[in-house]
Amino acid sequence: MNPASNNGLRTIVCLKVVPRPEEVRVDAETMTLDRAGAQSFINPPDLNALETALKLKDACGGEVSILSMGPPFFEPYLRLALAVGADRAFLLSDRAFGGADTLATTYTLAKGVEKIGAFDLVLCGEESLDGATAQVPPGLAEWLDVAQVTCALEIEKVPGKREMRVQRELKGGSETLSVDLPAVVSVKANVNEPRFIDYDRMEWALQEAPVGVWGAGDLATDPELTGLAGSPTTVAGVRQVATPDRRRKHLSGSAGEIARALADLLRTQTGSRGG
Amino acid sequence: MAASLIRPEEAQRIWVWLEHDGTSLEGVSLELLAKGRELADRSGEGLVGLLMGHELDSLADEALGYGADEIVVAEDPLLEVYTTDAWCDAAAQVVLEKKPNILLFGATPDGRDLAGRLAVRLRTGLTADCTDLEIKTDEPALMLAAEVTGFGGGVAAIIACKENRPQMATVRPGVFRPALRRSHGEEGVQSRCPVRIDPGRVRTRVLERRIGEAVDITKAEALVVGGRGVKGDFGLLETLAGLLGAELGASRVAVDEGWIEKDRMIGQTGSVTRPKVAIVCGVSGAMQFTVGIMEADTVVAINSDPEAPIFESADYCVVDDLFSILPPLIRELENSR
Amino acid sequence: MSAQYDDGTILLDDATLERFHRATGGEAWPCYQCGTCTATCPWGRVRQEPLLVRTLMRNAQLGIDEDGESLWLCTSCGICEDRCPRGVPIVRILRALRSLAWKDRRIPEGLPSVLWAVHRDGNPYSLPPCERTRWADDLEVKEFEPTDEMLLYLGCTASYDRRIQKVARSVVGGLRAAGVQFGTLGASEPCCGETALAMGQTAFAAEIAEANAKLFAARGVKTVVTISPHCFDMFQNHTPRLDEGFEALHYTQFLARLVSAGRLVCRGSFPRRVAFHDPCYLGRRNGEYDAPRTVLESIPGAEIVELEESRAGALCCGAGGGRMFLETPVGERFSDLRVRQAANAGAEVLATACPFCITCLEESAPQVDQPLKVMDVAEIAARALEPEGADVEATASGR
Ligand SMILES: Cc1cc2nc3c(=O)[nH]c(=O)nc-3n(C[C@H](O)[C@H](O)[C@H](O)COP(=O)(O)OP(=O)(O)OC[C@H]3O[C@@H](n4cnc5c(N)ncnc54)[C@H](O)[C@@H]3O)c2cc1C
Ligand code: SF4
Ligand code: SF4
């Protein structure tokens, strides 16, 4: 359906599948996460990254590949991304990759990017809903030894040059960067409205589209650097902190007392991220 | 495991990366200096602030006053503005030279940008967006136990990095109290660490910076929202918003009545907002409205009707006339400035 | 690309023509451009520039690609279709044109997010599926079993919208009063897909409908009763029948049957002047005008008055066709006209039987001078179930 093109941008979008946060529970006995009962979806900012990639493709041509690391059940979600508009997809899936922290994850993803071949741009969602580390894009850029931009708001190709203009969020504002390609760019959540599935692509996406599944052997990864073995950090414990429900706490007293309580609350809430 | 470039037994001291705008330190850096001091005292380690940039003399003097035992300054013309490549190269040189045990960053856009890359270059672990830090003094190599939240804030985990050094973490702004300026005589020492940056390796260039421009309500960190109950007068709400650095938002009724611009409408046919806090005044809480504040971290509702459905979508509920609550609230906030 | 010039010359191209014909199935051809549709469309009453339905039909015939903004105005109220002398299925054609607009990505902002929500969360409001049963937290409504008389299908709005949850609770009150054995699908209740269909995502809607048909067959559903006329229309007209199939009913139809069978008797009263607003998806789209009136007429004390435009001529509330998710500026809302008609008819209560109608009419109600309460037929019935009408909704303890 979509022959590889030699012109335009070769973009790789990293995509992750995450469990619905409100359905994840901590098993009080084993102190581990129980995701089994939770439904999953595509990490929402990754759809913003995909939309950015497809817009760039609309503007300057090229092709969009999806890259993901995870268990085989991710595959249908990759196919969904193909139905939205991506051209091909690759899933890095191997028991040896399990239990990876960001160091091992970024190493494995970098090996996947290298195996896909020459690229201009790797786009990631700002952060994942489950881990919320936002460290994958910079780590990936380091392994690949290419330019990096995080918190991107807008991306534009500079015509005729291996260069992009990227608007990036700063604390209290933004900056515009000129970025040499190839580069890894992470896209802020909600910067665009992801286009919906194109049902005309569905049959192709579900049945014909190529989804490469690569294991440790295919990538020739160093076992010391992948999965649990390649992860310097360990989880020492988990606990449930809050249900996503609203607290519905009533403040009562005289108007003055309520005002004081509210003022205290707002001073901490506006300084911090609450929750 | 990826071999650590720094061995645990040679790593020492707690380091804080000091973020700044050229004239003053970031709030989160002061918070980390305070927390770092506490951890240092508990473990008998030293506390070091790492200041990077160009022509930093006055800032370096300023930084000395917040409890660090030492301020290490790394200067280079290429560090004038933040770019990932230049700053990561410089930071890596300092770290490999000085071998910190713990290295903390604020989880700001630049802090996360730098820490994420540096951790991979140093082949070490990074715990991101921490909400608490603790030090395990009983462990042989002073282990950092960092708390993070995931899954939309519903689950907290404690993360440790056992063998690789430095133990790196980015910390969410606002979770610790900022360090206070100390009196003279209690200040630490200043030192320099030379760095060499190859301009050819800096692959991004800053063309323009814009700080403090108007934000649209979908990006606002705080919102003060009015509905039919404000009865045409957004004045008090505007004053409150000014004090909180918040933007004004509105229900459809308030927009329909012409009390406020249309682009401030929240909800199903308005905008979906994601502020840290929303103060919602005189809005009944129809679903067409509440879907627009579902993703707010904290919702405060003020409504005179105890039965108003907005209270089911609120964390803090005030059943009262907004006109009797807002004036004393504004006074409280003004007084505490 | 087809184009139209100022002097009236039209340039057509075969590819676009072909594309339009495939999408519309050539159903626009019978149109002979009389303009009745444009003249009857309610947009002409609230906007300077009416919705040029006739022009859209001609564009569909000739394959003229115009900027499709007006395409998204249609509320699929169906009044134009009802009046069209040529029986042109106007709403279906407009949906086909919308589906082409999706291909060209000329779609109003916000709609893709609504569809992603339906795809991901199973409801257009982006709310978590696990919260779908909250409306019945204290009602002890059981899971559906094949031996039940019927499946009560809440739909997304009655499940999540607190205002409409009251309607659902009233329906439950009525069913319990009549001794009906029923169940729901609980948190696993899927979206009916009408939002997707209305927005022109026909393939997505068909995918949902097929899954629902399988689900109904697997669960042994023989009768499904909906709160919303939109879900009813989706099940009635756009969901395939597998095995023995199933019967789709709107809850007013089910209650009317109970009334006729003597199973539902209101012992209390509701002494008010009540006007009924016919929801388009119940009335014109499915020909059901009598059932809600049968229920209202069975309520002692209720004095039923007809609105100026009622039954087949009823004015739309403005929320169909996906308009519930698109902003309509003040002054252009059909519901404003409708509440004025209710006031003119001297109604104290404007009754209706659709979640979207309730939302729109209730928002417009403060615009008339006299007090006008907007209520669902089920709410009125629930209030009149018992003497003194204490029982507005079902409660945990009672029925
Ligand atoms: C198609 C459609 C789309 C819609 N989209 C949106 C949307 O995107 N956003 C939106 O907001 N609405 C939307 N609505 C409208 C929505 O249904 C409600 O009508 C609207 O949100 C109500 O606004 P409100 O709460 O300001 O007014 P009301 O419902 O009238 O509530 C006013 C509240 O103020 C309280 N109050 C009054 N005086 C005081 C006082 N002195 N102190 C404290 N409290 C006081 C009252 O108790 C009451 O609860 C939509 C409706 C339709 C039909
Ligand atoms: S009313 Fe029917 S025949 Fe007349 S213009 Fe409209 S669609 Fe065509
Ligand atoms: S269906 Fe109703 S809104 Fe749509 S064009 Fe016809 S009359 Fe107008």
Q: The domain that contains C251 carries what CATH number?
A: 3.40.50
Chain B partners within 8 Å of A268 (Cβ): 174
Chain A partners within 8 Å of B113 (Cβ): 138, 148, 150-151
Q: Check residue B1 and give its pLDDT.
A: 61
- Pick the atom of ligand 2 nearest to C40's CA: 1
Q: Check residue C391 and give its pLDDT.
A: 45
Q: pLDDT-based confidence at B180, cuts 50/70/90? A: confident
* C274/C341 same-domain check: yes
Q: Within 6 Å (CB) of ligand 2, which residues are found?
A: C 31-37, 53-54, 57, 84-86, 88, 90
In a domain, C114, yes or no: no
* C191/C79 same-domain check: no
Q: Check residue A126 and give its pLDDT.
A: 87
d(CA B124, CA B3): 8
Three-state secondary structure readout of chain A: CCCCCCCCEEEEEECCEEECHHHCEEECCCCEEECCCCCEEECHHHHHHHHHHHHHHHHHCEEEEEEEECCHHHHHHHHHHHHHCCCEEEEECCHHHCCCCHHHHHHHHHHHHHHHCCCCEEEEECCCCCCCCCCHHHHHHHHHCCEEEEEEEEEEECCCCCEEEEEEEECCEEEEEEEECCEEEEECCCCCCCCCCCHHHHHHHHHHCCEEEECHHHHCCCCCCCCCCCCCEEEEEEEECCCCCCCCEECCCCHHHHHHHHHHHHHHHHHCCCC
Please check the confidence at residue A241 and state whether its pLDDT lies above 90. no
Chain A partners within 8 Å of B149 (Cβ): 132, 241, 275
d(CA B63, CA B309): 50
d(CA A266, CA B332): 11
Is the Cβ atom of C38 under 6 angstroms away from ligand 3? no
- From edge to edge, which strands make up the β-sheet containing A183-187? A211-214, A88-92, A62-69, A9-14, A121-125, A183-187, A147-157, A163-170, A173-180, B204-211
Please check the confidence at residue C341 and state whether its pLDDT lies above 90. yes
Chain C partners within 8 Å of B288 (Cβ): 359
Flag whether residue A234 sits within 8 Å of chain B, measured between CB atoms: yes
E-only strand ranges, B79-125 = 102-106
Flag whether residue B294 sits within 8 Å of chain A, measured between CB atoms: no
In a domain, A145, yes or no: yes
Q: Check residue C356 and give its pLDDT.
A: 98
Give, for ligand 1, the residue of B218, B228, B311 to mutate: max count of ligand atoms closer than 8 Å to Cβ. B228
Domain boundary at C258, C274, C305, which? C258
* C368/C295 same-domain check: yes
CA distance C204 to chain A (A): 7
Contact C162 B288 (CB under 8 A): no
Domain boundary at C103, C129, C159, which? C103
Flag whether residue B310 sits within 8 Å of chain A, measured between CB atoms: no
Q: Check residue B2 and give its pLDDT.
A: 67
Taking residues C221-248, report their average pLDDT.
97
In a domain, A190, yes or no: yes
CATH number at A125 reads 3.40.50.620
Instruction: Give residue-wise pLDDT tens across range A163-183.
Output: 999 999 987 789 999 999 999
* C254/C268 same-domain check: no
* C209/C283 same-domain check: no
- Complex prediction ipTM: 0.90
In a domain, A232, yes or no: no
Q: Check residue C396 and give its pLDDT.
A: 39
For residue C372, what are the CA distances in angstroms to C274, C342, C363, C366, C388?
A: 10, 8, 11, 8, 21
Flag whether residue B149 sits within 8 Å of chain A, measured between CB atoms: yes
Of C110, C163, C327, the CB nearest to B286: C163
**Which ligand has the minimum distance to the alpha carbon of residue C360?**
1
**How far away, in angstroms, is B257 Cα from ligand 1 center?**
11
Contact A241, B149 (CB under 8 A): yes
Q: Check residue B150 and give its pLDDT.
A: 74
**How far away, in angstroms, is C313 Cα from ligand 1 center?**
31
In a domain, C157, yes or no: yes
Contact A196 C109 (CB under 8 A): no
* C75/C94 same-domain check: yes
Q: Check residue C7 and give its pLDDT.
A: 79
In a domain, A198, yes or no: yes
Range of the domain at C292: 263-397
d(CA B79, CA B86): 7
In a domain, A57, yes or no: yes
In a domain, A48, yes or no: yes
In a domain, A259, yes or no: no
pLDDT, averaged across chain B: 91
In a domain, A241, yes or no: no
CATH number at C280 reads 3.40.50.10700
- Number of domains, chain A: 1
* C211/C300 same-domain check: no
Q: pLDDT-based confidence at A3, cuts 50/70/90? A: very low
In a domain, C228, yes or no: yes
Taking residues C232-261, report their average pLDDT.
97
Give, for ligand 2, the residue of C27, C29, C36, C61 to mutate: max count of ligand atoms closer than 8 Å to Cβ. C36
Flag whether residue A177 sits within 8 Å of chain B, measured between CB atoms: yes
Instruction: Give residue-wise pLDDT tens across range B157-176.
Output: 888 888 899 999 999 887 88
d(CA A52, CA A194): 8
Domain boundary at C227, C258, C289, which? C258
Chain B partners within 8 Å of A260 (Cβ): 328, 332
- Cα dihedral angle (C391, C392, C397, C399), rounded to 10 degrees? 80
Please check the confidence at residue A211 and state whether its pLDDT lies above 90. yes
Q: What angle do CA C59, C62, C65 make, to 5 degrees?
A: 50
* C91/C147 same-domain check: no
The chain C residue lying nearest B268, using CA atoms, is: C325
Q: Check residue B3 and give its pLDDT.
A: 75
d(CA C363, CA C336): 9
- Number of domains, chain C: 3
**Which ligand has the minimum distance to the alpha carbon of residue C329?**
1
In a domain, C112, yes or no: no
In a domain, C354, yes or no: yes
Q: Which two tokens stand for residue C143?
A: 């899971």
CA distance B141 to chain C (A): 44
pLDDT, averaged across chain C: 93
Q: Check residue A275 and give its pLDDT.
A: 28
Please check the confidence at residue C399 and state whether its pLDDT lies above 70. no
d(CA B299, CA B309): 13
* C228/C331 same-domain check: no
Q: Roughly how many angstroms between the first and final C-alpha of chain A, as a whole number? A: 47
* C160/C133 same-domain check: yes
Instruction: Give residue-wise pLDDT tens across range C68-113.
Output: 789 999 999 999 999 999 999 999 999 999 999 999 889 999 999 9
Residue B236 corresponds to which amino acid?
Answer: L
Interface test with C, best of A40, A196, A200, A246 (most C CBs within 10 A): A196
In a domain, C308, yes or no: yes
* C249/C156 same-domain check: yes
- Pick the atom of ligand 2 nearest to C36's CA: 1
* C230/C292 same-domain check: no
Q: pLDDT-based confidence at A273, cuts 50/70/90? A: very low
Contact C162 B269 (CB under 8 A): no
Of C105, C120, C130, the CB nearest to A22: C130
In a domain, C4, yes or no: no
List chains adjacent to chain C, taking adjacency as at least 3 C-beta pairs closer than 8 Å.
A, B
Range of the domain at A42: 9-225
